[in-house]
Chains A and B, each alone.
Chain A
Amino acid sequence: DAGVIQSPRHEVTEMGQEVTLRCKPISGHDYLFWYRQTMMRGLELLIYFNNNVPIDDSGMPEDRFSAKMPNASFSTLKIQPSEPRDSAVYFCASSWTGGVPEAFFGQGTRLTVV
């Protein structure tokens, strides 16, 4: 398996624009996590899914953020409208209940909002 795949790897956008981050989890994994990493706040859990269903979205900072998982092999995190304070590295991770429960991370999307 190619691992968790995220796209794009880098995104630079202007304030007010819509941004969509994409994630393909490892095949067979039933958990998918979205994290945001900054120097100030570390690795924050935004939302996680189990079997494509959102379980806990309490980490989503505000209504400008939304996430979907339409099927087991794809998830999106959308920010609309984007703001400079959203600049961070966004990671997607997946794990499997039936195996050792460590999460495997994608390479991240570095988002810069100017």
Chain B
Amino acid sequence: EDKVVQSPLSLVVHEGDTVTLNCSYEVTNFRSLLWYKQEKKAPTFLFMLTSSGIEKKSGRLSSILDKKELSSILNITATQTGDSAIYLCAVRNAGGTSYGKLTFGQGTILTVHP
């Protein structure tokens, strides 16, 4: 069974701080790892990672995948109150009867205080 574990489950910081969110996974056939941000409604896509060591960046957010360690991190620098959200990590299965399966972790609740 595919499994995704995120840590920490919650995090409270002040504006300007840098945060690192962690994601580890077990998947029978790895295709990709995805990060999503969820504010009050539906999750919205941030990044997709397929290869180890390649960093994806978008503004103050960046993410990197370590396929050897079966993990990924999401970094947010110079945090702002608008970064407050649930950050979700997911893995996409590439093989067999679970091809295409998309399994999410429990999420990290990030709260950024002014």
Contacts and interface: CB of A to CB of B under 8 A. Distances in A.
Q: How large is the interface on A (under 10, 10 to 19, 20 to 34, 35 or more residues)?
A: 20 to 34
A42 B107 contact: yes
A7 B1 CA distance: 30
Contact of B102 (A41, A58, A95, A107): A95
Determine the main DSSP class of A at the interface with B: strand
Interface in B75-99: 88, 90, 92, 97-99
Given A91-B42, A106-B42, A101 B92 contact: yes
Given A55-B99, A101-B31, 4 more contacts: A31-B100, A42-B88, A91-B42, A103-B34
Contacts, number: 63
Contacts of B48: 100-102
Interface string B37-73: 0000111110010000000000000000000000000
Interface string A32-61: 010100000111110010100001101000
Interface string A71-114: 00000000000000000000101010100111111111000000
A33 B45 contact: no
B41 A42 contact: no
Contacts of B1: 58
A95 B1 CA distance: 21
Contact of B98 (A35, A56, A107): A56
A4 to B, nearest CB: 8
Contacts of B102: 31, 33, 45, 48, 93, 95, 103
B22 interface: no
B88 A43 contact: yes
B103 A105 contact: no
Contacts of B99: 50, 55
A55 B104 CA distance: 17
